[in-house]
Structure 1
Amino acid sequence: MSHSHTKPPSDPALRIKAIETLMLEKGLISLEAVDEFIDICENRIGPRNGAKVVARAWTDAEYRKRLLADGTAAIAELGFQGGQGEHMVVLENTPLVHNVTVCTLCSCYPWPTLGLPPVWYKSSAYRSRVVIEPRKVLSEFGLSIEDEVEVRVWDSNAEMRYLVLPMRPAGSDGLSEDALAGLVTRDSMIGTGLPKSPQGAEP
């Protein structure tokens, strides 16, 4: 009889877990604090950088051209560079093309612009399925792509990471660059989501 077994965590993951457990036992940290820090890195600080890049591209045609021609250099213009973001390619969504990114081998991710990768991005299910059935996977994120729109899946690696430039949402004319940045979601820059509606955004 064959048995399936869960693959054990890597040595670094085990060491991190041991340190976390020890600090919790000694009362040096709390689970709430750990969760808050992860949320800040995953959803607030990191993605804010990418959102600023997107908002600038939405409002500055010349910057958008530079961003699509040389993502690394254009992103660095706004001060976002460093490890995990040395070689960036920006993929523009259009009415006829929707881009989505993945790392099929591990979890290569543009940290300077998006922060820490979400748990689902690192999961084997996402990494394997999005390249085979991207429309179905996107629908599970609540994103329905019309049949006439081509879905392109881009596989990140240690040499190249990707950032999706989502389409500017309708009704956002007249909003400031800061307000536009507030509409940009992390998932819209991965390709598994869209920017937020401008309803209620401050101009």
Structure 2
Amino acid sequence: MSDEHNAGASHHHADAGTHHHHDHDEIEKGAALRVRAIEELMIAKGLINPDTVDAIVEHYERDVGPRNGAAVVARAWTDPQYREWLLSNGTAAINDMGFSGFQGEHIRVLENNDKVHNVVVCTLCSCYPWPVLGLPPAWYKNPAYRSRVVREPRAVIAEFGYDVPDDVEVRVWDSTAEVRYLVIPKKPSGTEGASVKELAAMVTRDGMIGTARL
């Protein structure tokens, strides 16, 4: 079975086989438009440097925001009971670590392993689990990523630096206003003696989206 077929199936059956009506998040969309307008006005008036803005946003997208998700993943790697809870009720298990709020009302957790590699997209807008991953990166909102990862997931993931083996199934999950996804990456080999803190430091934002392998 081709990955393209799997991607389409996952798009329609991303939550226990139920097809979701994929609504735009009106609050998110409105806030984004206001922020963009303010940013462009301040740049036009010379009040801020666009390069500085980009650097700050990238810092929060890549480093600060995903630390919550990294803590969740590291705990799942080291605590089998928590891992099972996380996979069966992601929202409750994540809330137990103090991570909740807007864009995190319903989070489903997926696990990458030797047989399956999961990758997440939002095909219509940019639904994203803010409490555990912070701000969505610019490429996640890009129309090219949103359309291509469904059609050719292996090629897109390869562009991020990971060639998924032919014997590993690729599943594409489409986030919606009702459900968002967090990927537990496959635990790196040779880390058996690492502490939870050391493991968390190895977890990347792209690994928790599924576009990279740790």
For 2:33 and 2:77, locate their aligned partners in 1 and report how far apart those are by CA, in whole Å: 43
Matched, 1:141 2:146: no
State the one-letter code of the partner of 1:175. A
> Match for residue 77 of structure 1?
96
2:128 maps to 109
Count of aligned positions:
186
**Alpha-carbon displacement from aligned partner over 1:48-98 (angstroms, at most 9, x marks no partner):** 010000000001111101100100000011111110010000001110000
Matches within 5 A, 1:57-72: 57-72=76-91
Compare relative contact order (CA 8 Å, sep 6+) and give the higher one, 1 or 2. 2
2:81 is the alignment partner of 1:44:
no
Unpaired runs of 5+ in structure 2? 1-28
Name the SS of the counterpart of 1:116 in structure 2: coil
Matched, 1:123 2:119: no
Which of structures 1 and 2 has the bigger CA Rg? 1
Q: TM-score, structure 1 length as denominator?
A: 0.85
Moved more, 170-179 or 26-35: 26-35
Residue 164 of structure 1 pairs with residue 166 of structure 2: no
TM-score by length of 2: 0.81
Counterpart for residue 87 of structure 1: 106
Asked if the contact 2:58–2:137 (Cα under 8 Å) also holds between the matched residues in 1, the reply is no
Aligned-residue identity in percent: 62
Residue type of the partner of 1:139?
A
Residue 40 of structure 1: how far off its partner (Å): 2.7
Three-state SS of the structure 2 residue aligned to 1:139 is helix
Q: Take 1:58 and 1:183, find their aligned partners in 2: how far apart are those partners?
A: 12
- Aligned-residue CA RMSD in angstroms? 1.9
Gaps of at least 5 residues in structure 1 are: 1-9, 196-203
